[in-house]
Amino acid sequence: MSHPNWNRVVIKVGSALIAPNQQGCSSHYLLSIAQFIVRCRANGTQVVLVSSGSVAAGSHMFADQEKSNIAVKKAMAAAGQTEMIATWDRLFDFPSAQMLLTHADLRDRERYVSIRETIFSLLYNNILPIVNENDTVTTDKLKVGDNDNLSAMVAAAADADALIICSDIDGLYNKNPHEHDDAKMLKSVDTIDESIYAMAGGAVKGGVGTGGMRTKIEAAEKAVSHGIDTYIINGFTELSFNMLLAGENPGTHFRPFKKPMKENEHWMRHTSNAQGEVIIEGNFDGTLITDSDQLTSSEIIGVNGEFSVGDTILVRKEDGTKLVKAKSNYSSCLLNFIANQESDEFAHEFEEKTGPIISDQHVANLEKE
Ligand code: GLU
């Protein structure tokens, strides 16, 4: 078989490959990954690398410290990140670029578009983007939390054809292969449903990294809906990479949707999350999906959270029913103000001038908000 016909791939490499014994970075497992990247590029395939490992690489510098302390962990990430980037950079004779992102960056449409432009510009100039989460500035509210999901968001932002997630086992098994001798690996998955998540098990930690098989399936779900072929492979063996380059599947292949979501729809569903809520009257019987079914301020009875123009919000009824996720064209402050006006006339005049309160409505995935 010939090499696959990809224009662009994202490869996600976890901490266990970079700093296997947490004594700083080791190039032991990275050599075959770097070789894969070099060969992809030689075949005309652009590559984006999502690399974990900053915390694992930096931990040896904090020998006497409490490793679970968040401030110490962030310091380990800051110190380990330079070591990790330097290790990768040494393996290539072309330039690489560090991109540190948070979920707060990705869920903001303007910053998201800017991230896309930066990736395209780096690739156009034959520079390898190396992405990691910016662990030093994240809080629970601002982080993606694991690089599996981050890699899927990056693959969507980069319009990649394939996402390759390196694991420490060969792929997804129908049951835990460490516990069951008769466990079988799935060669391909057409639909990711609860049965697939059940095979992945709970939020199992994979040693030095953050994700387990579950976050890899979440990542695959995000990627395939954007039309991206996704592979979970064993990143510890060179054979996996040789097989990929020969157009063969070394692990589990998650087949992409035949009709992928549009870029902005995918972003609204999988990357953006609601910054606040608009509560509307319980007897509202519209769906808010079409533009003709617009929200008016007289139906709004409450505004929760603080959000700015352009942020994603959740619209729900007072009984809790979630109606849509949408872009707010008003800030929370302004919406509060117009919703609290005694006379509807003022608000209506205002809306006529300023335009619809929400746009880009999306109904799926509301349960996660
Ligand atoms: N961003 C973290 C790091 O570089 C890793 C997150 C993960 O393991 O998924 O250490």
Q: Does domain 8-263 have CATH number 3.40.640.10?
A: no
φ/ψ of 48, rounded to 5, equals -120, 130
R_g of the chain computed on alpha carbons: 23
Structure tokens at 194: 């609860």
User: Could you give the 3-state DSSP secondary structure of residue 200?
Assistant: helix
φ/ψ of 10, rounded to 5, equals -115, 130
Q: Under the phi-then-psi rule, with left for phi > 0, alpha for psi from -120 to 50, and beta for the rest, what region is 281?
A: beta
Please check whether residue 60 is in contact with residue 22, taking contact to mean a CB–CB distance below 8 angstroms.
yes
Q: In sequence order, what are the residues at sequence separation of 6 or more whose Cβ sits closer than 8 angstroms to the Cβ of residue 268? A: 312, 325, 327, 360, 362
**Domain ranges within the chain, ordered by starting residue:** 8-263, 274-365
Please determine, for residue 32, whether its predicted confidence score (pLDDT) is greater than 90: yes
**Site to substitute for ligand 1 among 147, 166, 213, most atoms within 8 A of C-beta:** 147
Q: pLDDT for 120-177, tens place per residue?
A: 999 999 999 999 999 999 888 888 989 999 999 999 999 999 999 999 999 999 988 8
φ/ψ of 319, rounded to 5, equals -80, 5
User: Which range, 161-165, 315-319, 320-324, has the best average confidence (pLDDT)?
Assistant: 161-165
Structure tokens at 18: 């970079």
Structure tokens at 238: 């060179």
Mean pLDDT of 186-192: 96
The Cα–Cα gap between 192 and 172 comes to 12
User: Which range, 215-224, 335-344, 346-355, has the best average confidence (pLDDT)?
Assistant: 215-224
Q: pLDDT for 78-98, tens place per residue?
A: 999 999 999 999 999 999 999
User: Could you give the 3-state DSSP secondary structure of residue 202?
Assistant: coil
β-pairing, 300-304 vs 322-328, is unpaired
- One of 1.10.3720.10, 1.10.260.40, 2.30.40.10, 2.30.130.10 is the CATH number of 274-365, namely 2.30.130.10
Please check whether residue 44 is in contact with residue 6, taking contact to mean a CB–CB distance below 8 angstroms.
no
- Nearest CA to 310 out of 327, 324, 333, 294 is that of 327
Give the residue, by CA position, lying nearest to ligand 1 atom 2. 52
Atom of ligand 1 nearest to the CA of 57: 10
Percent of the chain whose pLDDT exceeds 70: 94
φ/ψ of 253, rounded to 5, equals -105, 125
Query: Is-same-fold flag (8-263; 274-365)?
Result: no
Please check whether residue 261 is in contact with residue 279, taking contact to mean a CB–CB distance below 8 angstroms.
no
Alpha carbon of 160 to ligand 1 centroid (Å): 21
DSSP label at 24?
S
- Nearest CA to 33 out of 3, 10, 58, 59 is that of 10
β-pairing, 162-167 vs 8-13, is parallel
**Site to substitute for ligand 1 among 146, 150, 167, 205, most atoms within 8 A of C-beta:** 146
Q: What is the pTM of this model?
A: 0.85
pLDDT band at 367 (very low <50, low <70, confident <90, very high): low
Residues enclosing ligand 1, CB less than 6 A? 14-15, 52-56, 77, 132-133, 135, 146-147, 209-211
Mean pLDDT of 268-285: 87
